[in-house]
């Protein structure tokens, strides 16, 4: 008898079958040209089980997450729709979620969102009608009870595989596992962490997770990514909210000749993937390669994570690679 799935997404099937999943972020363009989305997605699609469409991360404006998901689903790719509470109230978010489900989106990552002061338009008004835990509960109500928060019925409920984010690398450390458990109770099926550059700290976090039995409730994907240079690493740890990079990582890059720092940053990422893969309770990795999508395939291959399970669909396109028709493949 076939296993019953929450949403039946490819990501859910990989994780629930016990496979080691790979997801990656698509860096949204500052453009209205859909081709830029397709160009980025085609690089990621062969090596990832799902592609995250970010929602104005860092409080900087880009093409919207729901629009990117619309393009990805049209092209036969599997998106993870990131939803931030910073910019929209519950009315707008519920409407966007129904629209996303109608377009074929099956994975949703619920985030509180970075404050506007982190971005390049700090004068923007905050919304924060909900936080990430309240958002998870709201989507769970829509999914399982088939109603809006108002109590009004939804004629066809959305079926989402729900995700949440956690940052084990910032204090209070003892609180992070408990906060993750609250997100699971609110409806999270999978977790994607902030960038991991401190493997010993993450290992201690996972020991807490196992002690509490949380690893049996949820699938945890560790955030990883390549560093372009020592200056880029220094910028990330001082300017990007929540990113922690130990001194030894930056020192290692600084001691590497400048022309080889990008390759060294990729090597560090591969090493981290190989290390976290050996930690009990880790179900996959989430690769964040800002403006370096071309490195993702190399990283996944060198980390020994290929081949990936085949996509359910393949895409036939015109010379601009815009969707034209889909051809179903035999199931794995």
Across the range 177-194, mean pLDDT stands at 98
Closest by CA to 280, choosing from 213, 225, 226, 224, is: 213
Nearest-angstrom CA–CA distance, 135 and 33 = 30
* pLDDT for position 27: 86
User: Which DSSP letter does residue 117 get?
Assistant: G
Sign of the four-CA dihedral 59, 63, 68, 70: positive
Distance (Å, whole) CA 41 – CA 249 = 29
pLDDT in the model for residue 87: 95
Model confidence at 240, in pLDDT bands (50, 70, 90)?
confident
Domains and CATH numbers, the chain: 15-226+280-313 (3.20.20.220)
- What pLDDT, on a 0 to 100 scale, did the predictor assign at position 3? 64
Whether 16 and 270 have beta carbons less than 8 Å apart is answered as: no
Q: What's the pLDDT score for residue 206? A: 98
Q: Which two tokens stand for residue 121?
A: 């338009």
Task: Encode 277-306: b = buried (16+ Cβ within 10 Å), e = exposed.
Answer: bebeebbbbbbbbbebbebbbbbbebbebe
| Reported confidence tier of residue 327, pLDDT bands at 50, 70, 90 | very low
How much of the chain is in helix, strand and coil states, percent to nearest 5? 40, 15, 40
From 209, 205, 257, select the one nearest 229 (Cα to Cα): 257
Residue 321 has pLDDT above 50, yes or no: no
Per-residue model confidence as pLDDT tens digits over 41-93: 998 998 999 999 999 888 889 999 999 999 999 999 999 999 999 999 999 99
The whole-angstrom separation of Cα 154 and Cα 321 is: 36
Give me the DSSP letters along 135-196.
HHHHHHHHHHT-B-TTSPBPSS----EEEEEE-TTSS-HHHHHHHHHHHHHHT-SEEEEEE-
Query: Is the confidence at residue 317, as pLDDT, over 70?
Result: no
Instruction: Evaluate if residue 102 carries a pLDDT over 70.
Output: yes
Q: Flag whether pLDDT at 274 surpasses 50.
A: yes
197 DSSP 8-state letter:
-
pLDDT at 329: 33
Residue found under tokens 């489900």:
101
What pLDDT shows up at residue 311? 56
d(CA 252, CA 26) in angstroms, rounded, equals 28
Banded pLDDT at 315 (limits 50, 70, 90): very low
Query: Over 50: is that where the pLDDT of 330 sits?
Result: no
Residue 226 to residue 224: CA distance in whole angstroms: 7
Using omega within 30 degrees of 0 as the cis cutoff, is the peptide bond preceding 300 cis?
no
Instruction: Tell me what the mean pLDDT of segment 287-295 comes to.
Output: 87
What pTM does this model have? 0.91
In 71-108, which positions are buried (b, 16+ CB within 10 angstroms) versus exposed (e)?
bbbbbbbbbbbbbbbbbbebeebbebbbebbebebbbb
Structure letter (DSSP) for residue 220: E
pLDDT for res 322: 37
Q: How far apart are CA 248 and CA 253, in angstroms?
A: 9
At residue 33, the pLDDT reads 96
Helix (H) or strand (E) segment spanning residue 317: strand 313-317
Write down the pLDDT at residue 325: 35
pLDDT-above-90 percentage for the chain: 83
Structure tokens at 226: 């390549």
| 3-state SS, residue 260 | helix
Residue 136 has a pLDDT of: 98
- Cβ 174 vs Cβ 203: under 8 Å: no
């Amino acid at each position: 008898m076939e296993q019953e799935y929450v949403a039946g997404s490819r990501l859910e099937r990989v994780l629930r079958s016990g496979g080691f999943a790979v997801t990656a972020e698509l860096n949204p363009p500052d453009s209205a040209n859909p081709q830029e989305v397709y160009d980025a997605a085609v690089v990621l699609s062969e090596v990832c089980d799902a592609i995250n469409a970010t929602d104005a991360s860092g409080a900087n404006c880009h093409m919207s997450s729901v629009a990117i998901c619309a393009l990805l689903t049209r092209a036969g790719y599997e998106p993870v729709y990131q939803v931030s509470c910073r910019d929209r109230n519950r009315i707008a978010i519920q409407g966007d979620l129904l629209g996303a489900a109608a377009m074929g989106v099956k994975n949703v990552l619920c985030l509180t969102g970075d404050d506007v002061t982190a971005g390049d338009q700090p004068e923007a008004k905050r919304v924060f009608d909900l936080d990430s835990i309240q958002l998870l509960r709201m989507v769970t109500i829509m999914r399982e009870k088939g109603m809006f928060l108002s109590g009004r019925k939804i004629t066809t409920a959305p079926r989402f595989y729900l995700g949440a984010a956690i940052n084990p690398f910032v204090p209070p450390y003892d609180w992070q596992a408990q906060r993750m458990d609250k997100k699971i109770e609110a409806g999270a099926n999978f977790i994607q962490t902030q960038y991991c550059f401190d493997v010993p700290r993450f290992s201690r976090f996972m020991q807490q997770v196992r002690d509490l039995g949380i690893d049996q409730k949820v699938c945890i994907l560790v955030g990883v990514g390549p560093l372009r240079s020592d200056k880029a690493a220094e910028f990330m740890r001082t300017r990007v909210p929540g990113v922690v990079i130990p001194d030894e990582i930056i020192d290692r890059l600084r001691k590497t000749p400048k022309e080889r720092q990008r390759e060294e940053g990729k090597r560090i990422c591969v090493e981290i993937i190989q290390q976290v893969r050996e930690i009990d309770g880790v179900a996959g990795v989430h690769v964040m390669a800002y403006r370096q999508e071309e490195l993702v395939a190399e990283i996944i291959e060198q980390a020994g994570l290929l081949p990936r399970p085949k996509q359910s669909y393949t895409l036939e396109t015109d010379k601009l690679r815009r969707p034209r028709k889909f051809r179903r493949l035999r199931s794995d």
